[in-house]
Structure 1
Amino acid sequence: MTQLPQLDASLFLTDGGAETTLIFDDGIDLPDFAAFPLLDDPDGHAALTRYYERYAGIAERDGAGIVLETATWRASADWGARLGYDAKRLAEANRKAVDLLLDVRQRFAIPVVISGCVGPRRDGYRPDTTMSRDEAYDYHSTQIRTFADTPADLVTAMTLTNTPEATGIVDAARDANARVVISFTVETDGRLPSGGTLGNAIEEVDAETNSYPAYYMVNCAHPTHIAPALDPEAPWAQRIRGLRANASKLSHAELDEAETLDRGDPEEFANDYRELRTKFPQLTVLGGCCGTDHRHVEAVSRAVSG
C-alpha cells in the first residue's frame, strides 16, 4: 500500500455536514438521514456533485488537499433494507458513490483522497445495543469488501460509539486489505456515548488490532465537547489526526429533538479548531459534520493556514 498523502501534509480539508446541507440548504428529503439513494436519481446525483465540488474548490484555492467521504454513511444492510435496497442494490450504490468522487477528482489539480464512508449499524446518537466484535465484522464486512474492490483510497468508519464495533470494522478492513480510519463521537463531557473515554477506546482498538488503523478521528460533536477528551501528554492522542466537528454546541439528545438547524458561528468554530491544533499539531485532517457547510470549512482553512 502507498502512503496516504494526508499523513505527510500540513493540512488536508474534508467536506462538511453532507446530510444537513442537502436537507436544509438544498431542500432534499433524506429518509433515515440517508444520502445514498440520491445516487440513483439524476437530480440527486447532480446535487451531490455540486456539494463535493464546492469543497474541493476551497481546498484547491487554499493550496490544501482534501479527503472526500462517499455518501454512504447509511449504505449498509439494516438501513438499506428500511429503504428498499437489497444486497445487490446496496453494492451498486456504494460503487456509484466512489465513481462520483472519481469524476470529481479528475477536475481538480490537488490531491483528492476518496474515502468509502461506513456508518454505525445503529443510531450514532443512541447506542442502545452494542454488537460483539464478531457481529460487527459480519455486519460491516460486505460494505467494506465492496469499497476494497473499487479505486477508493481507504475506508473511514464515522460516528462510532463503542469499541467492539470499531474493532470488528478494523478486522474487516484488514481482511479486505483496505486501509481504515476510525472516527469516534463523544458526548458533551468528552466521553463516548457508550460511557468509556476516548483514550481507552483508542488504546483498546490499537491493542486488539496491532494498531492497524491508519489514524483516528473524532466527529459529530462540537469542538468544545471534544477538547476535554484530549490529553496532549498521552501517547494515544498522537493517533488522532482528524476532526469533523458539529456546528452546534447542543448535546446529541438536544440535536435529536431540534426542529431547526443550529449552524453555530463559523468564525468561532474555526477559532476552536485553531486552538486545538496549537495543542495538537498532528491534527491535519480538518472539516465538519452536522450543521456545518462550506463556510465553516473555509473559516477553518483560513484559521489554521494563515
Structure 2
Amino acid sequence: MTDGPGAPPSFAVIVVSFGSSGLLRRNLAAIDLSAEAAVVVVDCFSDAAERERVRALARERGWEAVLLDDNAGFGGGMNAGAARAIERGARVLVAINPDASIDPRSLSALVAAADADPMLLASPRIVSSTGEPWFAGADLYLDDGVTRGAAARERFPGAARREWATGACFAISTELWERLGGFDEEFFLYWEDIDLSQRALGLGARLELVEAAVATHDAGGTHAAAPGARAKSELYYYWNIRNRLLFAVKHLDADGVRRWQRSAPRVALGVVLRGGRRQLLTTAGPWRAYVRGLRDGRRIVGERAA
C-alpha cells in the first residue's frame, strides 16, 4: 500500500527502513530538498508501532510512504521504492541509507551527474560522522572475493579486480535502473550493491565517484549490534558470508567458484573480525553467523553446480 501526494519529480530520494524511524527523523528529515524532488520511504514491516511512526513521519514531512507487508530486505525495498518513484515520473533515483545524510549541494551534484549520463552509476564520497573516510571507491578482488577500498590498489598491483559502488548512497538514471531490472532480491541484504555494479559494468555503464558530492554515514546506524558499537549484528555477518558465495555462482566460472570456496573460511573470519575480537569472547552470535553463512553459501554452490 502507499500513502502520500503525487507531484511529478525530476528525481526521487529513496530510503528503505526497517525499524529506523528514529534515523529517518534525524537524517532524512534534515535533507533540504528542492520542489523537483520526491522522497519515497519504504517501510519493511517490523511491528505495528514502528509502522505507525513511519506513517506519521511521512505525513508530517510530505514524503511518499510505501508500506510493505513484510521485510523484503534492502534490495526488495529499493525495488519497491524505485517502482513508485518511476511511476511518479522521476528521471533519476537517489538511494540513501537511513543512517546517512547528504547536503543539498552534494545531492545536486550527484543527481546532475546521473542525469547527464544515463549510463552512469554515480557515488558520493562518504565520510563518517567524525569525518573519517568511509567510502571513496571500492574493488572486488576476483582471486578470492575480498573487498577493499580503492586506496588499497597500490598495495595489490596487477591483481584482477572489479569496481563496485556502495548501496549506502548512489544515483542512477531510471533508464539504467530499468535496464538492470533493479536489485537482485535473492541477496536480501549485502552484496546486492556489488552484484548491481557488476551487472551495470556488463551493460557498458560506468561507475564514478563524484568528488563534489559528500555524504555522511552514521557508524552507529543500521547494522551495529548496539548504537556506537564496533560489533556488527549477527545478520550482518551471516548475509555477508552467505552472499559472497551466491555472488560467485552468479558471476564466476567454475574455477573462480572453486577458488572462492577454498578461501571462504578465511574470508568469512575476516568479515566477523570487522566487529573486533572482544565480541568473540562475549557472545555466540558471530560464531553462529560464521557457521550458518558458510553452510548456506556452500549449499547454494552445491545446488547451482548440480
TM-score class, shorter = under 0.3
Q: Taking CA–CA contacts closer than 8 Å with sequence separation of 6 or more, which of the two structures ends up with the larger relative contact order?
A: 1
Task: Tell me the TM-score normalised to structure 2 length.
Answer: 0.26
Which has the larger strand fraction? 2
